[in-house]
Amino acid sequence: MAEDRLACRECHHVNDPDAQTCEHCGSSSLTEDWAGYVIITQPEDSEIAAEMNVTKAGSYALKVR
């Protein structure tokens, strides 16, 4: 069970619980139903970031439903 933070369905960024839109991409498609918290600090050097198409440093959900 994830915390009540909200993951973005578009970019997988994990936002604060009271977020209305994703602070990274501006999408309003946020969900509490996510799993696997990763912090990416250097997207250019990260295989996970490449797999997830992440280009900005930040915290992300591995799985978003």
Alpha carbon of 45 to those of 21, 30, 40, 57: distances in Å? 28, 27, 10, 11
Query: Which one of residues 6, 7, 13, 34 is an interface residue with Zn ion (CB under 5 A)?
Result: 13
Q: Are 64 and 54 in contact (CB under 8 A)?
A: no
Could you tell me the smallest distance in angstroms from the CB atom of residue 22 to Zn ion? Answer: 3
What does the per-residue mask of binding to Zn ion show for 44-63, with x meaning CB under 5 A? --------------------
Structure tokens at 39: 């912090």
Under the rule (CB under 5 A), what is the footprint of Zn ion? 8, 10-11, 13, 22, 24-25, 27
